[in-house]
Structure 1
């Protein structure tokens, strides 16, 4: 957010972070970032980025053991992931990741499931587990060396689902919302499309 503040010192941001779907009118929210299809009534929705789930570990894990050379090597470790599904999609799990790696007989009974990717990342960092996480959400952790990506296998989430910047249709006339929207789309490398 420091980059946004530098680009727009006249605008103040405040955050209301929640897993709950917020109502723009009732909750006094101007802009939201939602994961879903982007089809929200009476709103404008801009796709920010697609989601690819990858395997990661902490550097400490590799300090005491050799790096996994193939997918089956991961099964010697505690594996954690996000357990989330809707009527139309299932968030990628270890069985799906192993299948993409060519391993169809993977036993996932010892995998640890969490409801949120934040718990997966924290478990990976704190306990030496290997986690499946959204690549776009861990860019800073990878760049700063807190997490390491293992192997070159990524599982895309269902193509209809992505992170979207969403605001009420009335936001088309609000210069604050438009400034934030353009900045977010620039950060995500997307173009404004109406």
Structure 2
């Protein structure tokens, strides 16, 4: 069985004292008192069973044991410094890795991201996404937790749709969501114009299945129940795992989609989609900002997380 290593703090104190040949200068580097450095070295001597330093008039002198011990220890600390340096070069102090679902990136983040880039031109923002396959999940089984926990360590900031319960991470609620039917303006006219919710029975239903994945009931079931509408068959229609193709199908006049209005701003502002009814149903799930604990302490991550929240306040 190999012998256990002494505490890294004691080894670090000894290594600094060897380089400086001074307990005082080692203490200054480590931002502690000379007494603390001396205590760590004494503890190291007791653990190793050898004397490492002799005090001399102008400082300290290495013993023969220390002369044997120090070179390889310094080599090890230099390897550690190089490893940290390589990591920083790879990641960059001002590189920001952002992950989010395709619908959030396309419909919410990208139309606004230029404002963050203008405010922080020195930050290299890198945005990535994933299209998670949910087809194997039983109805009502949450699809976000495993995905988030497997993704959060690969990026600095993750924006996800779910309930915000992601253990061991820094989570802030970003964007509350409501569901309402949306359709092409053409469906407000024609042989069966959408005037009242009951008119939906004459139209194809388009399903944004995030409701099934995260809420249990579908978006259509939630909305129709709040609207007090009966006689609309929610089992019919086309199903989509993500909101983008669902809204694009509505734009193409293939039916009416029940989806989150907050991600449909571009469609609504350009009148490609309209909300035929005023009722909006608040979801239990929302978009959350998620970071692991080390990433959440980086200044650029704090800036971006605050910027995201500010954007929701000024939208």
Q: TM-score range by the shorter chain?
A: 0.7 to 0.9
Following TM superposition, the consecutive aligned residue runs of length 4 or more in structure 1 with deviations greater than 4 angstroms are 63-67
Greater shift after overlay, 65-74 or 136-145? 65-74
- Do structure 1's residue 23 and structure 2's residue 135 form an aligned pair? no
Task: Report the Cα distance in structure 2 between the residues aligned to 1:14 and 1:39, rounded to whole angstroms.
Answer: 25
- Give the alignment partner of residue 257 of structure 2, picking from 122, 125, 131: 131
Q: Count the aligned residue pairs.
A: 185
Closer, same or farther: CA 66–45 of 1 in aligned 2, 3 Å: same
* Cross-structure match for 1:162: 286
TM superposition shift of 1:111: 2.4
* Richer in strand (by share): 1
Match of 2:205 in 1: 79
Q: TM-score, normalised by structure 2?
A: 0.54
Query: How far does residue 11 in structure 1 lie from its aligned partner after superposition?
Result: 1.0
TM-score by length of 1: 0.84
Please tell me whether the aligned partners of residues 50 and 162 of structure 1 are also in contact (alpha carbons under 8 angstroms): yes
CA RMSD of aligned residues (A): 2.2
Take 2:193 and 2:221, find their aligned partners in 1: how far apart are those partners?
A: 21
Q: Corresponding residue for 2:159?
A: 33
Which structure: greater helix fraction? 2
Whole-angstrom distance in 1 between the partners of 2:243 and 2:258: 8
- Unaligned regions of 5+ residues in structure 2, if any? 1-112, 133-146
CA shift, 1:73, in A, is: 1.1
Instruction: Structure 1: state its 5+ residue gaps.
Output: none
2:126 to 10, 14, 17: 14
Q: In 1, are the aligned partners of 2:201 and 2:231 still within 8 Å (CA)?
A: no
Relative contact order: is structure 1 or structure 2 higher (C-alpha 8 Å, sep ≥ 6)? 1
The structure with more radius of gyration:
2
Instruction: Give the Å deviation of 1:64.
Output: 4.5
